[in-house]
Amino acid sequence: MPQQVRGVIARSQQAPVELTDIVIPDPGPGEVVVDIAACGVCHTDLTYREGGINDEFPFLLGHEAAGTVDSVGEGVESVRPGDFVILNWRAVCGRCRACRRGRPQYCFDTFNASQKMTLTDGTELTPALGIGAFADKTLVHAGQCTKVDPAADPAVAGLLGCGVMAGLGAAVNTGAVGRGDSVAVIGCGGVGDAAIAGARLAGAGTIIAVDRDTRKLDWARELGATHTVNASDSDAVAAIAELTGGFGADVVIDAVGRPETWKQAFYARDLAGTVVLVGVPTPDMRLEMPLLDFFSRGGALKSSWYGDCLPERDFPMLIDLYLQGRLPLEKFVTERITLDDVEKAFHTMHSGEVLRSVVIL
């Protein structure tokens, strides 16, 4: 029997989000219905609402979620009803050209549920990042459910489903930060702070946090920054050079995603160092730089999609480290809210008062 539950949808670019009844079909072959316990509010949800991803309105928002498996469709063996899972947007296909070359973290054909969730009048919904978890329940592909230790707080666990994994992986996977490395992170929101936590986990020596907001710099210190730079009153490139013996950092992570921050990352890096872009630019942004600088400074200029994570490999491991007290993921949960408060949370996010607001269901 299809189930009718509450969900937060965006009908158009102009209108605020709306809490309404939605219909979840029974899981078909390879599909799973998940009873959502918690879902973080991510910038990407707002980008959907603003029409910045595509115009397939209405969207069912929410994608940083954890919950319990409610029911499974035919052929699903990886999870069972009652399992505690984190939802992911990288259910690797195993068959595309990236997967076949042994690089499943780039999978170009990830799985999502094939059936559609709908409004009660039958209008099909587009779930954000193929998830749609600002809802009591949602329908996903079985590969989008990663089982983790149920001892984890769902509000904390869900954050690994997007922003925290993206930042942590940008440092650990894409940037390959190693023991003793110097690392600088520009932009210390949820993503940048997760990069800082990842750099600490990987054994980085100097970890420099750069932001324009002193509150963010305080949080960055709690998550592992050894030094902070306030970009509103000092030159980030010069400050990073000064903190690294005049040379620049081995790895610089841009967790803002603007031409000016990317340039700072580029020039704040030691010779042959690595720049990782994890912040997402908008289509209008342009970069102009001397090509010779790219050549003469060497090193690697990389982008990080979802922290180059593999959910099945990374989520259970990171949850274990958190439960052992070695990764303070609970610090990312600034406030716990209800489904009614998503629109308000978008404003709170903009004003920089939170790392993450998390909807508790």
Ligand X SMILES: NC(=O)c1ccc[n+]([C@@H]2O[C@H](COP(=O)([O-])OP(=O)(O)OC[C@H]3O[C@@H](n4cnc5c(N)ncnc54)[C@H](O)[C@@H]3O)[C@@H](O)[C@H]2O)c1
Binding site for Zn ion (CB under 5 A): 42, 44, 93, 96, 99, 107, 109, 162
Count other C-beta atoms under 10 Å from residue 94's C-beta.
Answer: 12
Task: In whole angstroms, give the CA distance from residue 213 to residue 43.
Answer: 18
Which DSSP symbol is given to 281? P
**Residue from 38, 65, 148, 186 that binds ligand X (CB under 6 A)?**
186
Segments of 207-293 assigned E as strands:
207-211, 227-230, 249-254, 269-277
Query: Could you say whether residue 161 binds ligand X (CB under 6 A)?
Result: no
Q: What are phi and psi of 124, to 5 degrees?
A: -75, 140
For ligand X, the closer of residues 33 and 231 by Cβ is 231
For ligand X, the closer of residues 79 and 229 by Cβ is 229
CB 295, min distance to ligand X, A = 26
**Residue from 61, 85, 86, 231 that binds ligand X (CB under 6 A)?**
231
Q: Which residues of 156-181 are buried (b: 16+ CB within 10 A; e: fewer)?
A: bbbbbbbbbbbbbbbbbbbbbbeeeb
Of these partners, Zn ion, ligand X, none, which one is at the site of residue 210 (CB under 5 to 8 Å by kind)? ligand X
Is residue 14 within 8 A of residue 32, CB to CB? The reply is no
Of these partners, Zn ion, ligand X, none, which one is at the site of residue 190 (CB under 5 to 8 Å by kind)? ligand X
Task: In whole angstroms, give the CA distance from residue 166 to residue 296.
Answer: 30
For ligand X, the closer of residues 137 and 356 by Cβ is 356
For ligand X, the closer of residues 5 and 335 by Cβ is 335
Size of the site for ligand X (CB under 6 A): 29
Of these partners, ligand X, Zn ion, none, which one is at the site of residue 198 (CB under 5 to 8 Å by kind)? none
Query: Could you say whether residue 189 binds ligand X (CB under 6 A)?
Result: yes
Dihedral angle sign, alpha carbons of residues 146, 149, 152, 154: positive
**Residue from 5, 19, 53, 280 that binds ligand X (CB under 6 A)?**
280
For ligand X, the closer of residues 78 and 218 by Cβ is 218
Encoded amino acid at 347, one letter:
H
For ligand X, the closer of residues 124 and 235 by Cβ is 235
Of these partners, Zn ion, ligand X, none, which one is at the site of residue 96 (CB under 5 to 8 Å by kind)? Zn ion
Is residue 7 within 8 A of residue 132, CB to CB? The reply is yes
Task: In whole angstroms, give the CA distance from residue 230 to residue 233.
Answer: 6
Query: Could you say whether residue 187 binds ligand X (CB under 6 A)?
Result: yes
Site of interaction with ligand X (CB under 6 A): 43-44, 162-163, 166, 186-192, 210-213, 216, 231, 255-257, 261, 278-280, 304-306, 352
